A and B are shown apart, each in its own frame.
Chain A
Amino acid sequence: MAADPAQTNDIKTTPLNAAHRALGAKMVPFAGYDMPVQYPLGVLGEHKWTRDSAGLFDVSHMGQAFITSTDGRHETVARALEALIPADIVGLKLGQQRYSQLLADDGGVLDDLMVTRSQASADDGSLMLVVNAGCKDADYAHLRARLPAGIALSVREDRALIALQGPLASAVIAGHVAGAERMAFMTAASDRFDGIDIHISRSGYTGEDGYEISMAADKAEAIWTALLADTRVKPIGLGARDSLRLEGGLCLYGHELDPTTSPIEAGLAWSIQKRRREEGGFPGAARIQRELRDGPSRRRVGILPEGRAPAREHTEIRARDGRVIGEVTSGGFGPTLNGPLAMGYVEAAFAAVGTELDLMVRGKALPAKVVALPFVPNRFFRAAKA
């Protein structure tokens, strides 16, 4: 058994740090923050609780920021952001949220992010961004360097962010935020949680229905505590957050996404809307349009190992003839799947569902095959059409 790696110094905390410790969380350094990897329930139990009921996550380490146009027009701020990401932002409706990627000039991914237009037209000219903790300083520097005059970046380190995820999340939230159960997936609103001002969106990163709630840092513990008072809710650490998103087939920056991967290789073409594909006008557009037309040289795939042995990140992937054709980017054990699972990149010729591969685990070739993503069906909420 290897000993735990030593804790690093100079670590940051979220406004909920004391609450995690009071709950008996096991804390680990993650992206420069002291974060709960699991609570006494454990990763397996927390994962299953989120799939069956409602799991509460502290994601305050993520970066929250606004970009704002001095002219107060949506189109101005949207065009400025569109120069840096491939999603259609001009076409965002009031209260709509989109997933996108901050791109390098060669089309590689600098970070993935959520972009939200406020539901209040009085807020127009402003967009809310949520970016990864480990990338946020570089992202903000990139935005400051690249956004044109007249567009200001406002970083909101004074805010906390929590996520409530799972099939019972909407029933729980409905008791605190009037009407939240009727919000559609990927929409957002400014609202009140038991009288506290919040931004709420129907989104998350577990493959389940759920919400992300942003609030002033000094209000985080009141909302966290109110949600945990509900017997349907339990706190969930980063360990289960990772196994949930892996079963959900969702990319994690630094694993499936990095400056060498393009959104097309990563299977994120769905996040680039038609107008942007046609018009281009984002970093790396020539490469991305070429990959959309001709197909990329490699693709992200889901991989199901035979047997019980997990294949971890950096496991070599070989064709049946022994040639190396790729590498695992995330791999482990899926508690809902009740077996090992992995995602990785393979040469495009080996990306079809059903393709047989070998995973090199501790010097042995373990048979595996390419499977469709997600491993566990996503259960995002779609509002009924009126």
Chain B
Amino acid sequence: MLRFSKDHEWIRVDGSIGTVGISHHAQAALGDVVFVELPEVGKSVEQGGEAAVVESVKAASEVYCPVAGTVTEVNEALPDNPALVNEDPEAGAWFFKLEIADKAQLDGLMDEAAYKAYLETIA
């Protein structure tokens, strides 16, 4: 199950490890992604902190971390194939995995239904 932030990141939790990416809505708003910059493994990131960068032809956007943690792995396929963010944003185009510092922070995120309702309110 994916949980979503108001900044349009998602996180999938498996034990203490979270996998983070950007939502389908986010990739559609960005348009064609041409560059991805990933964090270094071992970096500790605050909740809401800047963790990665995604750029379309026109603009650069930060990817914020939905919960605090320490980066354990990054998706090495993305820098060479940034278009994957457009093609498979909520699975294959994950950005990084992290060791979650405080799982209680997950409670503040939205499930898919709540995120859908949230998108309606900002449309």
Contacts and interface: CB of A to CB of B under 8 A. Distances in A.
B31 A42 contact: yes
A45 B79 CA distance: 20
A379 B48 CA distance: 47
Interface in A39-54: 42-45, 47
A266 B16 CA distance: 55
Interface stretch (A182-190, A207-215, A289-297, A305-313): A305-313
Contacts of B30: 1
B58 A239 contact: yes
* Among A2, A335, A362, residue most surrounded by chain B Cβ atoms (within 10 Å): A2
Given A239-B31, A309-B35, A362-B53, A2 B58 contact: no
* Among A38, A45, A243, A310, residue most surrounded by chain B Cβ atoms (within 10 Å): A310
Interface size of A as a range: 20 to 34
A1 B23 CA distance: 9
Interface string B28-59: 01111011010000000000000001111111
A1 B37 contact: no
Contacts of B59: 312
Interface residues of B, number: 27
Given A42-B31, A310-B35, A310-B60, A1 B55 contact: no
Contact of B8 (A1, A308, A335): A1
B79 A43 contact: no
A242 interface: yes
* Among A1, A4, A243, A310, residue most surrounded by chain B Cβ atoms (within 10 Å): A1
B61 A333 contact: no
A2 B61 CA distance: 7
B62 A1 contact: yes
B61 A335 contact: no
Nearest 7 CB-CB pairings of A with B: A1-B8, A44-B32, A333-B34, A43-B57, A1-B26, A1-B7, A333-B57
